[in-house]
Structure 1
Amino acid sequence: MTTKLESLELALKHALGEGAAISSALGEVTVVVKAADYLASMQTLRDAPSLAFEQLIDLCGVDYSQYGEGTWDGLRFAVTTHLLSVEHNWRVRVRVFCPDDDMPLVESVTGIWRAANWYEREAFDLFGILFDGHGDLRRILTDYGFIGHPFRKDFPITGYVEMRYDPEQKRVIYQPVTIEPRENIPRVIREETYGTK
């Protein structure tokens, strides 16, 4: 007798063919597709009656540049999507790697699931991943004057600029970061009776 997870893997292999790498770990199934097959695979995942993944529940960017303590030698950026089939009561994770590290770009799935709109905007804003075919790809969490993409591993923790209100100019201004590096020294309590009362 096959388990529900095995049934899902079999249905995925049948619908997606040899172009997708399917694996399962810790009770979850992950499908890795090539960027060229991404849009067609996502359409199949939604429309195939044996799968019926009618809901996109999450989409996010991933920066693998320091994955495995820097031992990762694959492509740097990926888009990971979680899909839900209410009809079959199962979930799947789909991962696609952006073929160009300098200009990460994959197809937009907003034409398949409208819920992907803000998720793709977030991945663009935080990771700099571009989604071809997205109708309104602009920043969603940082302000429009923000420089860089803060979730990239090479983005400095302090950022590049800070905002403050200038009372003389009566407006918000940008200026270089003024945080001075300092060394925190922990306070040591040296009492003979500490913790005994």
Structure 2
Amino acid sequence: MQTLKNLIETQFPGLPTKLVVSGNELTLECKSEHYFNLVKALKETKELGFDQVTDLCGVDYSTYKNQEWQGPRFAVVIHLLSVTHNWRLRVRTFASNDDFPIVDSIYPLFNGVNWYEREAFDLFGILFNNHPDLRRILTDYGFVGHPFRKDFPISGDMEMRYDSAQSRVIYQPVSIEPREITPRIVREEQYGG
């Protein structure tokens, strides 16, 4: 890991990045405006040779470790793998605008991130600039909101179901009545005695 850390520090001396070693993992943080070019350099630099993205996800840092987070709210985190050199690297970038989080898509570099970026958009509302087909992937196209955001309401008031009479999906108010569940307690007079 130290070899990789030293190599990254020498490859990007002028780029404002931050290397963090935690739990035997190396994380490279960069500003969102440098994200695409940094990932491109990590892929194309022969000495680094990161040729696979094994994961990409969105993160909502509005609260972190049960405390208010100081800094940008939304991040995109990718995990890179170099098969040639047998090392891994995590890259994290924060969207600069919390109200309209947007990060450049790395789809032109790794087309396997297509569905990962769509998932981060669908669940966190993070937009990926230059993504060829950014649309919802896990929720319904008419779904309002992004369910993995920490401020998303836990229970809603609308439900979706297929209506066979109309041959389509319809939305209607939630039909489940809330109920109080009280556990039954069984006591026997001579139990255990």
TM-score between both structures, scaled by the size of structure 2: 0.91
Contact 1:158 1:179 in 2 (8 A): no
Separation of aligned partners in 1, 2:164 and 2:45: 60
* 2:15 counterpart of 1:10: no
* 2:172 counterpart of 1:175: yes
Separation of aligned partners in 2, 1:76 and 1:178: 35
Q: Which of 153, 163, 174 is the aligned partner of 2:160? A: 163
Q: Percent identity?
A: 54
Identify the residue that residue 62 of structure 1 maps to in structure 2.
59
Q: Which of 139, 142, 164 is the aligned partner of 2:136? A: 139
Partner SS for 2:12: helix
Any residues of structure 2 matched to 1:19-168 within 5 Å, and which? 19-166=16-163
Separation of aligned partners in 2, 1:82 and 1:193: 60
TM-score between both structures, scaled by the size of structure 1: 0.89
Specify every segment of 5 or more residues in structure 1 that has no aligned partner in the other structure, as ranges. Answer: none
- The alpha-carbon deviation at position 180 of structure 1 amounts to 4.2
Which moved further from structure 2: 5-14 or 76-85?
Answer: 5-14
Partner SS for 2:97: coil
Separation of aligned partners in 2, 1:181 and 1:145: 25
Partner SS for 2:29: strand
Separation of aligned partners in 2, 1:35 and 1:108: 11
Matched residues, number: 191
Q: What amino acid maps onto 2:9 in structure 1?
A: K
Return closer, same or farther for 1:83/1:131 CA change in 2, 3 Å cut-off. same
RMSD of the alignment, in Å? Answer: 1.8
Separation of aligned partners in 2, 1:16 and 1:193: 76
Return closer, same or farther for 1:153/1:88 CA change in 2, 3 Å cut-off. same
